[in-house]
Structure 1
Amino acid sequence: MKDVTPLTEGWTLRHAAGDTVPAPAEAPAGDIPATVPGCVHTDLLAAGLIEDPFLSRNETAVAWVGRTDWRYDTALGPRDTAHERTDLVLDGLDTVAAVRVGGVPVGNTRNMHRSYRFDITDRLDPAAATPLSVEFTSAYTEAEAVRAQVGERPNAYPEPFQYIRKMACSFGWDWGPTLVTAGMWRPVRLEHWSTARLATVRPLVTVDGPTGRAELRVDVERTATGGGVLTVRARVGDHTASADFDGDGTTLTVEVPDPALWWPRGYGEQPLYDTELELLDATGAVLDRWERRIGFRTVTLDTGADAHGTAFTLAVNAEPVFARGVNWIPDDVFPSRIGPDRYRARLTQAADAGVNLVRVWGGGIYESDDFYDVCDELGLLVWQDFLFACAAYPEEQPLRSEIEAEARENVTRLMPHASLVLWNGNNENLWGFRDWDWEPALDGGSWGEGYYLGLLPRVVAETDPTRPYWAGSPWSGGWDHHPNEPAHGTAHSWDVWNRTDYTDYLDTVPRFVAEFGWQAPPAHATLRRALPGEELLPTSPGMLHHQKAHDGNGKLERGLAHHFAVPPAGPAHFDRWHYLTQLNQARAVATGIEHWRSHWPVCAGTVLWQLNDCWPVTSWAAVDGDARPKPLYFTLRRLYADRLLTVQRRDGRPTVVADNQSAIPWDAAVRLRRMAADGRILAETTVTARAGARSVALATVPGELLPDAGSGKEFLVADAGELRALHFPVRDHAFAYPAPRYDVATVRRGDEPDAVDVVVTARTLLRDLLLQADRLAPTAVADQGPLTLLPGESATIRVRGWDGGGDGDGDGATAAVRAALFMVEPA
């Protein structure tokens, strides 16, 4: 059996200065301890040699790190194995590296997204330690050299990320810092083996009527003496098969009668079958083993023409799915710090918010198998971008062969995962070619079209024909339509955030909204940690540094001004600005999702930009860089629930919409009340909206229940069970909100020592009441986001991670809660 020796101990890091690359003044002299997996920044940070780049404006002070060459060193023990062969296996090198064993070069790398294997059998000393060094050239040096070779190409950001196969967002983005990493970011090991090893195993999992099939396509590598017949033996659950072969590979099929089908979240269970394949020699001894979990399901993508344009609807096991999605970026700009627990925590947050689809965005990485394992278990569909984003990518060497090898390796690695349902060619590059003035700048040069419409679909068809491929997002399916035409394929909605107001989401019904979003600052406690000692203002130096979007604060202010009185400048008004910008983000996203969901099945999905952040920053995320949920997160939980009640305009008048994405019909008895701002009920009735399984139902609002179109003193309340929808005929700054009055009580939880129940009782209309729990304690989290209470109504908000300041049900706790409560106030 193959033996594996992890190489995690004894590493050191030093600046790799040479005759032409002098050490920068900031570089440490001599060796420092290094962690593998890891990167230069995290090693320097652990050694106390740089300040945390996530805090204040330290990012700029460590820019030199990314423009410096570095070397990692360790020693390999004496070669003490009876195996014929020893390979050095590096699962991820970031990015341009020269690998030497015993001072002798064994290989060079130039792709962060690939693994590498080098035969070092003859390099290891049988009696003494052998030096191993991995020397990294600055990613800037490589990218600039490739740019000089292939010629300039346009992109959306002033960094050369498209000339190197590296995580693009490490060069900075409109939500991310510029921290250009280097290092061994995935595991390193020695593998000792004899006769033959499993090089690749590709499971093509299909369902044909009552039978599930796992077709295991196996490639092997043999030693020089490893000829002859080999055997592969496979098991899927309790079902087995075996085959003999004498070449470099074979195909073995295991049939599973009546398999339990894997379903996305909300559509069924997620059964997974333990799958094992062993490689045996002629004596029956096991040479190598491959183990994964697979799920039986079918996936199709409907892109047929219809009366509304061109569909884009995913179906799992022949069941069309409304995608309740989020875009995923790397959860840390230093991805070696993301482990299984962090993946599980973040993806569980997504699942708890009702998400059923996660799009892995093309400016990041192909995530660890740990990420996809959790998605398999939670029923989160994965849309996987190939790693191209917001730039014209050269199709010449040395990039083209790297891209093909990268694509083949990652398709093979990820295809066992049942959650993976779509391969997508790129992010915004087909759109960019058409609309971002690339064509004149390119002057006929290559820009990536050959990848998205040629190479990548061929790789998917040859390697993983069980899944659909789409050329890009946005993409209308062909050049016959504009790439970002809402009626065809996938659409990105960014004009609303960049130029207009979120009410303009109501103007179109895209077939599938793959990106849209609205910015807001992170939680207050996150800001306090990230900007220590700074007086918080929207325009304070640290706040501006942690706002990476072009004119981001201007867009925030203009977005507020459409709906609220913008708070004056000055520290006394920061808390109000903070609350209103977070609320405006939640309101914007709600406007879009409620509208688009109400048009199912014409619109078949919304994918919020974005779930998460990679550092503390003002951004579009629902969960901030310190893992704290913003108000948007809790709003998303309502928007992505199986049942959504909303009021939408149909034929020019407000209409009740019951969107039922569950499998159980919903006869929604909706209590309608036309109410005055002072809380009086002006009219009341009940209507019924009968929504079948996975369908939408409408109910007309009787004329006497409709508030006057221009009234700032009336509004409509629609209640169905625990669900509530509101309709205000005017914007907030034109509505006559009463001065808010309410009572607060705090009750310590006997069954949860670190939990306090906060009970708020409204004496007036309280619109979008929000308890910012992190103001009570940095560890505190509330179980609810913004909620609206009518006079006389009460709500209980459970706060975990706070002991009530030692006075969980006293006046001190109540005063602290009042200071952390926010709501819409009169203009």
Structure 2
Amino acid sequence: MTRRTLHDGWLLRAVPGPQLPDAIGDRVVPATVPGCVHTDLLAAGLIPDPFVDDNERGLAWIGRTDWVYETTFRHEPGDDERVDLVCAGLDTVATLSVNGVEVGRTENMHRGYRFDVRSLLRAGDNTLAVRFDSAYRYAEAHRDRLGDRPNAYPEPFGFIRKMACNFGWDWGPTLVTAGIWQEIGLHVWSTARLATVRPLVTLDGADGRVELHVEVERAGDAPLTVRAVVAGATAEATIPAGERAAVLTLAVREPEPWWPRGYGAPARHALDVTLSSPDGRPLDSWSRRIGFRSVRLDTTPDAHGTPFTLHVNDVPVVVRGVNWIPDDVFPTRITRDRLAGRLAQAAEANVNLLRVWGGGRYESEDFYDVADELGLMVQQDFLFACAAYPEEEPFRTEVEAEARDQVSRLTPHPSLVLWTGNNENIWGWHDWGWQESLAGRTWGRGYYLELLPRLVAELDPTRPYWPGSPWSGREDRHPNDPAHGTTHIWDVWNTDDYTKYRAYLPRFVAEFGYQAPPAYATLRRSLSDEPLAPDSPGMAHHQKAADGDAKLRRGLAAHLPDPTDFDDWHWLTQLNQARAIQLGVEHFRALRPICMGTIVWQLNDCWPVTSWSAVDGDGRRKPLWYALRRAYADRLLTVQPRDGGLALVAVNDGRDEWRATAQVTRLTLAGEPRGKTSVELTVPGGSSVTVPLPAELARPDEAVRELLVVDAGASAERAFWFFAEDRDADWPAARFDATVEAVEDGQRVRVTAVTVLRDLTLFPDRLDPAATVDEALVTLLPGESATFTVRAPTPLDPTALTRHPVLRTVN
């Protein structure tokens, strides 16, 4: 097998049409492959950056235009029996031609294609052309043919197997792409090739097992030999003449297992597979790094309803998750290094699971490989989101083909622990008025409850499947019932204050989130508004959520002082986002073992936007990221309202016992003690302990002038309880001393509180867009100090580092 990429020499042109701007006309521009039309036009200087200001609006014509990619490549024919044109990913409705002869058509972004082109190739120069028809025209034609289906946005994304969020979302732009978005090339081979290698890897007690399913494609009928090696174990099988499949079993004695973050090392082992001819000549090979681990999902009914508990290697794992969306509107800009950085940000925030959301894509090999390496579990949605999807042809066949491709492709990755049928579609059918408008038409049920579970059971029975997010486990039960299975909590953002999280007693929260704008430097890079204001044109365009700004204002009004200018608004909305999610996470974690997981919406962004993310579209960490790191720590101390009073809850997700003495003090905002007690904590690994606090500590003399602080020394973060909202508290004006000293690669800012300082935070990106800081949201009592380490390419102004608007505190 010889593999050759065809990534050079491509040219791009538009097919003439009424929507085509005069400036484009018959222009031919160099094309980057893999890539897409938008990035090629941008590189050629023919369109403005769609992420800046409202440039997105003027680019809608791109998705309604047909495009042609063309290249010339040299070929020298040999005596090989097959030459395949292999396309790992085409976006989306494509017609491929070699030397002017059509070789195939595609209409699914989420699967690969292979075409035998040997008879069409000639010695010397050959041409390869790929025409992409408008995704809009294709989708609208199927919509008109089959009848419309309801969805969350006025776009036809349900009628094409393409990344749904290309058509816009409440955090993303409408930029409908086309292009050769994954590798394309020629595979030259004879006799046979490995078509599919599907290792089903499990752990039985201490011993590992690989059930290796191999399928071959043949150019002849000779017998074949398949050999596999992993961790010192070897297996071999013969595929008799005319047959196309074999199953090999490899037993490995006590391999080092793969564990999720916080539970052990994510050990991996090389699995090598070779295909040989009868005379021992190698024909093809395949290699991956696998991990031995078992996964099961416990949904056995109990006194509280239906749990949703992942067990890895027979250990129950509390999920500390984040939802993942495509990290860029244009996926080919997402390099392995970028993924490694973004997943490292998740790991550093004490996250142990990423849910790959169903309106994006099946993620890349790099994504899963980095997740494997970091011990990050992955939940992968099948790609259906917020819409009723037709089950008629050609969609049913395409859905089955992509599911077969993707389930088989991802079996080697130990990080993948759960398949999910869809995002919110079963919920939508129940609650969003779909049934009347559907009038009996198909909407996707057959995919989620019949086709997909059957395919997962057939191709990958080592992993659980769950029909939807949310899903309660049975069709006769509301799909978003918090007491059963998984739930999404969105009333908090849409209609209610974030303290309502405490009204829920869920088993597993698969989505909940709160908005805030991106970092200041991100806004300054992407917007030319002067001055910046919450409702200035660029800010308004980069707020895609329905009534988003009104919801931000409502949230601020319930808790924080009124902003006096944009700097205040920016700081306080970011703070309120962090507060909301920290409150929710701490409440849900304090319910262990009733609630065994949370997946915050969302880790990342695909462009610069006001959204629910912890890391913005330029990769900068918002205050939420620091709050999440604290709330997701292995050991958590949190004060929670219980039975009309307060209780201290200590949560230990680690595997070792946690012993500590917690000092609980009620004191004034001036730092004067009003009451104190100590609590001896013994928290076994994988459990939590709740200790009611004495009434004299839980009831302040003056709510607006007091707080509660819990300190367990170095064994955990401090916990605070404030008896009054910030807008009502009698805060002293902030007074502090600050010093700045140079350290290697940066500066150390030390702040010593003279008065109480609540949620002290540094924003060095206001001074240099490349500057970062290691800590945020630190509350200090009078006399206490905190140190912030700032990293920047060049030293920052020490005076500016310790003044408004770079250094902020609530008071």
- Quick check: 2:567–2:805 contact (8 Å CA) kept in 1? no
Deviations 1:312-336 (A, max 9, x none): 0000011001000000000000011
- Quick check: 2:378–2:416 contact (8 Å CA) kept in 1? yes
2:471 counterpart SS class? coil
What residue number does 2:227 align with?
A: 233
Q: C-alpha distance in 2, partners of 1:298/1:114?
A: 28
Q: C-alpha distance in 2, partners of 1:534/1:395?
A: 49
RMSD across aligned positions (CA): 1.2
Q: C-alpha distance in 1, partners of 2:759/2:489?
A: 26
Q: C-alpha distance in 2, partners of 1:26/1:436?
A: 43
What residue number does 2:546 align with?
A: 550
Q: Which amino acid aligns with 1:815?
A: A
1:97 counterpart SS class? strand
The answer to whether residue 773 in structure 2 is matched with residue 782 in structure 1 is yes
Match of 1:124 among 114, 121, 124: 121
Q: Which amino acid aligns with 2:627?
A: T
Match of 1:431 among 402, 427, 433: 427
2:145 counterpart SS class? helix
Match of 2:720 among 708, 721, 726: 726
- Measured after TM superposition, the shift of residue 75 of structure 1 is 1.2
What residue number does 1:381 align with?
A: 377
Q: C-alpha distance in 2, partners of 1:697/1:206?
A: 34
The answer to whether residue 599 in structure 2 is matched with residue 613 in structure 1 is no
What residue number does 1:815 align with?
A: 800
Q: Evaluate the alpha carbon distance shift between residue 21 and residue 110 of structure 1 in structure 2; reply closer, same or farther with a 3 A threshold.
A: farther
Q: C-alpha distance in 2, partners of 1:367/1:447?
A: 25
Listed as ranges, the gaps of 5+ residues in structure 1 are 806-811
Q: C-alpha distance in 2, partners of 1:3/1:80?
A: 13
After superposition, residues 369-768 of structure 1 pair within 5 angstroms as 369-532=365-528, 534-568=530-564, 573-708=565-700, 711-722=703-714, 723-749=717-743, 752=744, 754-768=745-759
- Measured after TM superposition, the shift of residue 689 of structure 1 is 2.3
Q: C-alpha distance in 2, partners of 1:249/1:521?
A: 53
2:689 counterpart SS class? strand
- Quick check: 1:389–1:428 contact (8 Å CA) kept in 2? yes
2:703 counterpart SS class? coil
Q: C-alpha distance in 2, partners of 1:12/1:757?
A: 51
What residue number does 2:164 align with?
A: 168
Q: Which amino acid aligns with 2:151?
A: N
Q: C-alpha distance in 2, partners of 1:725/1:256?
A: 46
1:44 counterpart SS class? helix
After superposition, residues 107-146 of structure 1 pair within 5 angstroms as 107-126=104-123, 128-146=124-142
Q: C-alpha distance in 1, partners of 2:798/2:529?
A: 26
- Quick check: 1:323–1:604 contact (8 Å CA) kept in 2? yes
- Quick check: 1:28–1:49 contact (8 Å CA) kept in 2? no
- Measured after TM superposition, the shift of residue 817 of structure 1 is 2.8
Deviations 1:164-215 (A, max 9, x none): 0000000000000000000000000100000000000111112223421111
- Quick check: 2:759–2:810 contact (8 Å CA) kept in 1? no
1:354 counterpart SS class? coil
Q: Which amino acid aligns with 1:218?
A: V
The answer to whether residue 4 in structure 2 is matched with residue 5 in structure 1 is yes
Deviations 1:279-314 (A, max 9, x none): 000110100001111111100000110000001000
Per mean C-alpha deviation after superposition, the further-off stretch among 559-568 and 593-602 is: 559-568
TM-score for both structures, normalised by structure 2: 0.98
- Measured after TM superposition, the shift of residue 118 of structure 1 is 0.3
- Measured after TM superposition, the shift of residue 218 of structure 1 is 0.7
- Measured after TM superposition, the shift of residue 398 of structure 1 is 1.1
- Measured after TM superposition, the shift of residue 532 of structure 1 is 2.9
Listed as ranges, the gaps of 5+ residues in structure 2 are none
The answer to whether residue 362 in structure 2 is matched with residue 362 in structure 1 is no
What residue number does 1:53 align with?
A: 50
Q: C-alpha distance in 1, partners of 2:23/2:559?
A: 49
Q: Which amino acid aligns with 2:774?
A: D
- Measured after TM superposition, the shift of residue 802 of structure 1 is 4.9
Q: Which amino acid aligns with 2:792?
A: G
TM-score for both structures, normalised by structure 1: 0.96
- Quick check: 1:756–1:803 contact (8 Å CA) kept in 2? no
Per mean C-alpha deviation after superposition, the further-off stretch among 426-435 and 334-343 is: 334-343
Q: C-alpha distance in 2, partners of 1:706/1:160?
A: 54
Q: Which amino acid aligns with 2:26?
A: A
Q: How many residues align?
A: 807
- Quick check: 1:384–1:423 contact (8 Å CA) kept in 2? yes
Q: C-alpha distance in 1, partners of 2:562/2:248?
A: 66
Q: Which amino acid aligns with 1:628?
A: R
- Measured after TM superposition, the shift of residue 814 of structure 1 is 2.4
Per mean C-alpha deviation after superposition, the further-off stretch among 816-825 and 257-266 is: 816-825
Q: Which amino acid aligns with 1:34?
A: A
Q: C-alpha distance in 2, partners of 1:814/1:641?
A: 33
Q: C-alpha distance in 2, partners of 1:815/1:290?
A: 56
Per mean C-alpha deviation after superposition, the further-off stretch among 324-333 and 660-669 is: 660-669
Q: C-alpha distance in 1, partners of 2:18/2:215?
A: 43
What residue number does 1:25 align with?
A: 22
- Quick check: 1:707–1:716 contact (8 Å CA) kept in 2? no
What residue number does 1:68 align with?
A: 65
Q: Which amino acid aligns with 1:542?
A: G
- Quick check: 2:20–2:61 contact (8 Å CA) kept in 1? no
What residue number does 1:809 align with?
A: none
The answer to whether residue 348 in structure 2 is matched with residue 352 in structure 1 is yes
Q: Evaluate the alpha carbon distance shift between residue 709 and residue 495 of structure 1 in structure 2; reply closer, same or farther with a 3 A threshold.
A: farther
Q: C-alpha distance in 2, partners of 1:236/1:26?
A: 57
Deviations 1:136-175 (A, max 9, x none): 0010010001101111100000110000000000000000
1:627 counterpart SS class? coil
- Quick check: 1:739–1:825 contact (8 Å CA) kept in 2? no
Q: C-alpha distance in 2, partners of 1:27/1:253?
A: 58
Q: C-alpha distance in 2, partners of 1:30/1:296?
A: 53
Q: C-alpha distance in 2, partners of 1:61/1:92?
A: 27
Per mean C-alpha deviation after superposition, the further-off stretch among 358-367 and 236-245 is: 236-245
1:366 counterpart SS class? coil
- Quick check: 2:298–2:311 contact (8 Å CA) kept in 1? yes
What residue number does 1:15 align with?
A: 14
- Measured after TM superposition, the shift of residue 682 of structure 1 is 1.8
- Quick check: 1:738–1:825 contact (8 Å CA) kept in 2? no
Deviations 1:389-425 (A, max 9, x none): 0000000011110000000000000111000000000
The answer to whether residue 181 in structure 2 is matched with residue 185 in structure 1 is yes
1:309 counterpart SS class? coil
Q: Which amino acid aligns with 1:732?
A: D
1:14 counterpart SS class? strand
Identity of aligned residues (%): 58
Match of 1:291 among 287, 308, 326: 287
- Measured after TM superposition, the shift of residue 28 of structure 1 is 4.5
- Measured after TM superposition, the shift of residue 23 of structure 1 is 4.0
- Measured after TM superposition, the shift of residue 255 of structure 1 is 1.3
After superposition, residues 309-328 of structure 1 pair within 5 angstroms as 309-328=305-324
Q: Evaluate the alpha carbon distance shift between residue 786 and residue 28 of structure 1 in structure 2; reply closer, same or farther with a 3 A threshold.
A: farther
Deviations 1:634-660 (A, max 9, x none): 111111110011100121211111101
Q: C-alpha distance in 1, partners of 2:692/2:149?
A: 54
Q: Which amino acid aligns with 1:742?
A: F
- Quick check: 1:766–1:823 contact (8 Å CA) kept in 2? no
Q: C-alpha distance in 2, partners of 1:208/1:798?
A: 46
